[in-house]
Structures are given as structure tokens and as C-alpha cells.
Structure 1
Amino acid sequence: MADLTVVVERSAGAAIVRLRGDLDKLSAPVLRDQLVLLHDERVHTIVVDATELAFCDSSGLWVLIEHQRLVREHGGDLRLTGVHGVLRRVLDVTGLSAVFT
């Protein structure tokens, strides 16, 4: 599996989080740390760009679900864009496609 690269671009209460590589059990904490930091900074709109994401397992999916819930509880929104491949299939099979805008 390839490493995960997380690039965060901030702008006026919003952020784009670009993912490249594999989001799995070993790399999920890297994404979690970035999302916690954004929450601590009171970023209310987060767009996770999965265009360059090669793989996502249940650990990565759990981080996305957990932080979407946290952001929404505080009046914000976490959205996914560029969803394809394994992540698309996992979201569709689990019925979680409807949870993410």
C-alpha cells in the first residue's frame, strides 16, 4: 500500500483536504489528526477531495464518518468530492453515499 499524503488548504472558515495514496488502518490517524486540527480551529466547512485517493478501507471510512458527525454537531458540514473506485463502492454498498453530500 502507498502512503497517504494529506494537503490542507484553508480559506475563511473553510478547508479543502486533498488526499493522495491509500487511506487505511496505518494512515487513518494522519487524516484524523488533520481533521481534529481543523475542528479545533473552528473550520465549519470541510471538503475532502478524494480524486487522488487510490484505496480506502473501513478505518479510513470510519474517520470520515466520525468527523462528519462531529462537524455537523457544531453546525458545519463535511463533504466528499472526487469519490471513485474503492471508496465509491464502499459508500454505495454500505448505504453511506446518502450521508455524504
Structure 2
Amino acid sequence: MTDLCVEVERAPRAALVRLEGDLDKVSAPAFRKCLAGLAEEGCVEVVVDTAGLAFCDSSGLWVLVEHQRTLSGMGGTLQLTGVHGVLRRVLEVTGLRPLFASQL
């Protein structure tokens, strides 16, 4: 298991969030808190770069789904970029891929 490193670049209503490591049941709560903070700041256009993500379990996937719903309710979007490996497969198998305005 690898820790999750989260790097955020902010703009007035937008943010780029880069992930590196494992997004799992251990790291998901802190990631959820980070995304909630961005929403509170008014960042409603969020791009999550998952190119550095080594692993994502259902806890991590659920954080992404929840935040997409939150932003959608605020008139925003959550996009995913750099999707590969397990996350790509899970998004395809579950039919969640279209939920994210993504460049998968």
C-alpha cells in the first residue's frame, strides 16, 4: 500500500487535483475532505488527474462519484484525466465512465 499524495492548483472557480499513490479506504476520507474544501471555496470546475494513481478501490471511486454529484448540484463538473489501469476498468465495467466529463 502506498500513501496518497494530493497536489492542488486553484483558479477562481476551478481546481486541478493531481493524485499519486493509492486511493483506498485509508486515504479516501482525507481526499473527500480536500474535495469538500474546494467546493466550499467555490471551485465547481474540478479536474482530477489520476495519471499517478497506482490503485483505486471502491472507497476511492465512491468519493469521486459523490463529489461529481455535489458539483453537478452546484452547476459544476468533475472531470477525470490520465485514467488507466484498475480505475479505467472499473469505470467501464460499472458504466460510470459517462458520469465524468472526462478524457478517458
- TM-score band (shorter)? over 0.9
Q: Distance in 2 between matches of 1:79 and 1:33?
A: 18
Corresponding residue number in structure 2 for 1:89:
89
Q: Deviations over 1:28-67 (max 9, x none)?
A: 0121011000011011100000000000000000000000
Q: What's the counterpart of residue 36 of structure 1?
A: 36
Aligned counterparts of 1:86 and 1:97: Cα–Cα separation in 2: 13
Q: Structure 1: state its 5+ residue gaps.
A: none
Specify the SS of the correspondent of 2:90.
Answer: helix
Q: How many residues matched?
A: 101
Deviation at 1:100, TM superposition (A): 0.9
Secondary structure of the equivalent of 1:42?
coil
* Residue-by-residue CA offset, 1:7-38 (whole Å, 9 max, x unaligned): 11001211000000000000001210110000
Task: In structure 1, give the amino acid aligned to 2:67.
Answer: H
Q: Distance in 2 between matches of 1:98 and 1:67?
A: 15
Q: Where does the alignment leave 5 or more consecutive residues of structure 2 unmatched?
A: none
Is the counterpart of residue 20 in structure 1 residue 20 in structure 2?
Answer: yes
User: Per-residue CA shift, 1:54-86, capped at 9, x if unaligned?
Assistant: 000000000000000000101011110000001
* d(CA) in 2 for partners of 1:98, 1:78: 11
Coordinate RMSD, CA, aligned: 0.6
* Rounded Cα–Cα distance in structure 1 between residues aligned with 2:99 and 2:68: 9
Q: How does 1:1-101 map to 2 (within 5 A)?
A: 1-101=1-101
AA at the equivalent of 1:84: H
The 3-state SS of whatever aligns with 1:30 is helix
